[in-house]
């Protein structure tokens, strides 16, 4: 069976004390079930949580890797408010680039995203590049594609698995990279999506905020890929 990705995206939710609780609950549940499999677990947390999250995960040996949700298109320098690739690399190995919320609310352009990717790759970060259609341009140097149809993000209405599977297949053929699906994935919708060969994993927003729900999603994938 192929290795799956399960990637949580906390967006601009969750403060420090909630995060510590989340990790404790997830850790306890995970080790109670002690499952060995090939699922790659990544959590994209707000910048403020990267350091404490890394400390927790290292101390308790929890098999979650960390990611950032955004990255500066610039390197080190006079760019007030920016978090650059080297700063992220101190704590995390993944980064989301081009999430539709960054494109929509922060007007990130194609050129900016290209600079972000360049910065990320210079610091050896794994880039998860988000697109909303198979027609989107995808730079060659990204590592993983996340297909997130805009109408499915945060609406509770995931895309029909047939359509999602078809688009993910096209993206896979176009890029040769692993392709994730994201957009209202929940315990109710994951089974249909898991049956689609072209889907290599999931990018999960809302359902990643609850550690028990996130663990159940993990269990579903583990059972499917066993």
* Residue 69 interacts with ligand PGA (CB under 6 A): yes or no: no
Task: Report the residue from 182, 189, 211, 218 that binds ligand PGA according to the rule CB under 6 A.
Answer: 182
* Residue 149 interacts with ligand PGA (CB under 6 A): yes or no: no
State the Cα–Cα distance between residues 203 and 139, nearest whole angstrom: 20
State the Cα–Cα distance between residues 108 and 110, nearest whole angstrom: 7
Q: How far is the CB of 163 from ligand PGA (least distance, A)?
A: 16
Q: How far is CA 110 from the centre of its chain?
A: 20
Q: Is 102 helix (H, G, I), strand (E, B) or coil?
A: helix
State the Cα–Cα distance between residues 36 and 34, nearest whole angstrom: 7
Task: Report the residue from 66, 153, 190, 221 that binds ligand PGA according to the rule CB under 6 A.
Answer: 153
DSSP state of 194: H
Q: Does residue 112 carry a catalytic annotation?
A: no
Task: Report the residue from 205, 211, 215, 218 that binds ligand PGA according to the rule CB under 6 A.
Answer: 205
Q: How far is the CB of 195 from ligand PGA (least distance, A)?
A: 19
Residue 78: how many other CB atoms lie within 10 Å: 6
- How many residues belong to the site for ligand PGA (CB under 6 A)? 13
CA dihedral 220, 39, 148, 9 (to 10 degrees): 100
Helix (H) or strand (E) holding 22: helix 16-33
Q: Which is nearer to ligand PGA, 55 or 188 (CB)?
A: 188
Q: Which of 215, 173, 214 is nearest to 197 (CA)?
A: 173
User: Which of the stretches 18-26, 50-58, 69-77, 197-205 binds ligand PGA when contact is defined by CB under 6 A?
Assistant: 197-205
Q: Does residue 148 carry a catalytic annotation?
A: yes
Q: How far is the CB of 79 from ligand PGA (least distance, A)?
A: 26
* Residue 113 interacts with ligand PGA (CB under 6 A): yes or no: no
* Residue 183 interacts with ligand PGA (CB under 6 A): yes or no: yes
Catalytic residue among 99, 101, 116, 159: 99
* Residue 43 interacts with ligand PGA (CB under 6 A): yes or no: no
Residue 59: how many other CB atoms lie within 10 Å: 10
Q: How far is the CB of 42 from ligand PGA (least distance, A)?
A: 12
State the Cα–Cα distance between residues 7 and 68, nearest whole angstrom: 11
Active-site annotation, residues: 99, 148
List contacts with ligand PGA (CB under 6 A). 9, 148, 153-154, 182-185, 203-207
């Amino acid at each position: 069976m192929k290795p799956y990705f399960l990637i949580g995206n906390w967006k601009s939710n969750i403060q420090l004390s909630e995060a510590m609780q989340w990790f404790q609950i997830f850790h306890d549940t995970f080790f109670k079930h002690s499952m060995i499999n090939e699922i790659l677990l990544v959590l994209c947390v707000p910048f403020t949580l990267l350091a404490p999250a890394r400390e927790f995960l290292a101390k308790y040996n929890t098999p979650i890797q960390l990611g950032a949700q955004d990255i500066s298109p610039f390197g080190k320098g006079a760019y007030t408010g920016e978090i650059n690739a080297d700063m992220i690399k101190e704590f995390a190995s993944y980064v989301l680039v081009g999430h539709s919320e960054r494109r929509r609310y922060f007007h990130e352009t194609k050129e900016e995203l290209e600079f972000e990717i360049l910065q990320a790759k210079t610091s050896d970060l794994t880039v998860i590049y988000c697109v909303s259609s198979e027609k989107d341009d995808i730079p060659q140097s990204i590592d993983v594609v996340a297909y997130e149809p805009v109408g499915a993000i945060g609406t509770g209405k995931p895309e029909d698995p047939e359509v999602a599977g078809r688009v993910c297949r096209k993206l896979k053929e176009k890029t040769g990279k692993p392709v994730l699906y994201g957009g209202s994935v929940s315990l109710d919708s994951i089974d249909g999506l898991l049956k689609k060969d072209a889907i290599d994993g999931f990018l999960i927003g809302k359902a990643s905020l609850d550690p028990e729900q996130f663990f159940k999603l993990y269990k579903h994938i583990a059972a499917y890929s066993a």
